[in-house]
């Protein structure tokens, strides 16, 4: 029986937290936590890493359940993301032991290629439009733009103008045949989101993400359901939901949204995301997982995409690069070095499903150390309204 020799937290520029799990026979598996709450998440990864030393790599569910349920306090984003990283690293090891990609151990693949999209970068409508043109030049067939700044609780037409102009500029740049998603990032209240969806409709959004801030309450679910049924644009949410139970509330007995967006680095890992996808399939809802961090998270998301019939499209931030920033206003990605030996590539808006064992990526650890001067976890973003009051970011 193969056991864990060590599980260590690895900082990776620009701000990613990886979990490196090594077995007693020298094999290495990788996981990735969320790239925020750095101080808290790093300490959690270190603590969990110490506790799982000597554990079997085979009993993945038992190991995760033990780490979650043998403490009085069981939940929260810090613990959830640390356990998600551990779970995907254990699946990486199991796949390598059996010489198979993880999706083969989850029932096999349901598709050969996965459609992908990425976010655009800009500060003005012109810069967002330029970033969209750059994406088109890279074979993308779908992009997402986040046009909302600090938005009043009850919004006027004038307050909506800036976001409308951004989306219109991007639509004009890419034409009618490329899919354009809009991420409102929970920056709007339900009242403001109703007006925003109506104002953005002429640009034919592929979907609108987080039109209002998710708080998990019955009133939030009622607001989303009403927004979904009142107009034809697909509504997406889920990147801040952390459990299968929370997704069940959004899917059963009738769907609240059209697209759910679990984050494999938050919901419990690969198997949890596949199980959430199964619920989505039953509810006739699509799945488009959240993936704004590094290529280890993307590799794990690709295993979910390969095994999940509900999967619609996959967000990515990095297909293999690291360091530096990640995106320049008006442009595309700007990574300083390759983190994985063979970065994923896009052809016709799709990425091929990995066929190598485990996650299907080889992390170049030596490159991380070479570029640690680029480690720069940014402080939390703090927005205010014109009157100085707090604004949602």
Q: Look at 25-39, 110-124, 173-187, 373-387 and tell me which has the smallest mean pLDDT.
A: 373-387
CATH code where residue 74 lies: 3.30.390.10
Q: Is residue 390 part of a domain?
A: no
**Confidence tier at 285 by pLDDT (50, 70, 90):** very high
Q: Outline where DSSP puts E strands in 126-218.
A: 142-145, 179-183, 208-209
Q: Which among 102, 134, 150 is the end of a domain?
A: 102
Q: Are residues 151 and 206 in the same domain?
A: yes
pLDDT in tens, 133-169: 999 999 999 999 999 999 999 998 888 999 999 999 9
Q: Are residues 163 and 31 in the same domain?
A: no
Q: Which structural domain, as residue segments, surrounds residue 97? A: 4-102
Whether residue 101 contacts residue 357, with contact meaning beta carbons closer than 8 Å, is answered with yes
pLDDT in tens, 9-55: 999 999 999 999 999 999 999 999 998 899 999 999 999 999 999 99
CATH code where residue 330 lies: 3.20.20.120
Q: Residue 185 catalytic?
A: yes
Residues 6+ apart with CB under 8 A from 80: 242, 243, 266, 267, 268
| Phi-psi label, residue 324: left if phi above 0, alpha if psi -120 to 50, beta otherwise | left
Q: Are residues 47 and 77 in the same domain?
A: yes
Q: Are residues 58 and 131 in the same domain?
A: no
Q: Are residues 174 and 309 in the same domain?
A: yes
Q: Which among 71, 102, 133 is the end of a domain?
A: 102
Options 185, 198, 311, 371, the catalytic residue: 185
CA-angle at 381, arms to 375 and 383, nearest 5°: 160
CA distances, 19 to each of 135, 296, 344, 357 (Å) = 31, 10, 21, 18
Q: Are residues 310 and 339 in the same domain?
A: yes
Q: Answer whether residue 371 shows pLDDT above 90.
A: yes
Q: Answer whether residue 380 shows pLDDT above 90.
A: no
Cα separation of 73 and 87, whole Å?
19
Q: Are residues 37 and 164 in the same domain?
A: no
Q: Are residues 127 and 22 in the same domain?
A: no
Split into its structural domains, the chain has a count of 2
Options 290, 350, 378, 385, the catalytic residue: 290
Q: Which among 46, 80, 102 is the end of a domain?
A: 102
Q: Are residues 95 and 111 in the same domain?
A: no
Q: Residue 290 catalytic?
A: yes
**Confidence tier at 1 by pLDDT (50, 70, 90):** low
């Amino acid at each position: 029986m193969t056991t864990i020799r060590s599980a260590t937290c690895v900082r990776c520029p620009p701000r990613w937290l990886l979990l490196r799990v090594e077995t007693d026979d020298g094999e290495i598996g990788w996981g990735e936590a969320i790239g925020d709450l750095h101080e808290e998440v790093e300490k959690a990864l270190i603590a969990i890493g110490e506790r799982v030393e000597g554990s079997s790599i085979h009993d993945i569910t038992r190991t995760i359940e033990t780490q979650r349920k043998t403490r009085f306090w069981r939940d929260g984003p810090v613990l959830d993301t640390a356990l998600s990283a551990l779970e995907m690293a254990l699946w990486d090891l199991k796949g390598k032991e059996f010489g198979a990609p993880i999706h083969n151990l989850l029932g096999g693949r349901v598709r050969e290629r996965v459609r992908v999209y990425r976010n655009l970068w800009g500060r003005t409508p012109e810069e967002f439009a330029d970033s969209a043109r750059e994406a088109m030049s890279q074979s993308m067939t779908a992009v997402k733009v986040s046009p909302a700044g600090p938005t009043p609780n009850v919004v006027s037409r004038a307050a909506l103008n800036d976001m409308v102009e951004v989306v219109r500029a991007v639509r004009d740049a890419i034409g009618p045949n490329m899919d354009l998603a809009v991420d409102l990032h929970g920056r709007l209240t339900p009242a403001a989101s109703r007006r925003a969806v109506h104002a953005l409709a002429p640009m034919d959004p592929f979907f609108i993400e987080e039109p209002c801030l998710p708080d998990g309450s019955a009133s939030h679910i009622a607001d989303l359901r009403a927004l979904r049924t009142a107009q034809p644009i697909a509504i997406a949410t889920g990147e801040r939901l952390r459990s299968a139970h929370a997704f069940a509330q959004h899917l059963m007995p009738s769907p609240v949204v059209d697209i759910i967006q679990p984050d494999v680095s938050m919901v419990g890992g690969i198997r949890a995301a596949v199980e959430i996808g199964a619920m989505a399939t039953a509810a006739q809802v699509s799945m488009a997982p959240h993936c704004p961090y590094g290529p280890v998270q993307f590799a794990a998301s690709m295993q979910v995409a390969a095994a999940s019939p509900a999967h619609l499209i996959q967000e990515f931030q990095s297909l293999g690069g690291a360091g530096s920033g990640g995106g320049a206003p008006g442009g595309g990605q700007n990574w300083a070095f390759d983190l994985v030996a063979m970065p994923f590539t896009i052809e016709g808006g799709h990425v091929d499903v990995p066929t190598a064992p485990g996650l299907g990526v080889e992390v170049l650890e030596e490159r991380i150390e070479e570029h640690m001067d680029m480690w720069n976890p940014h402080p939390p973003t703090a927005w205010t309204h014109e009157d100085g009051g707090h604004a949602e970011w």
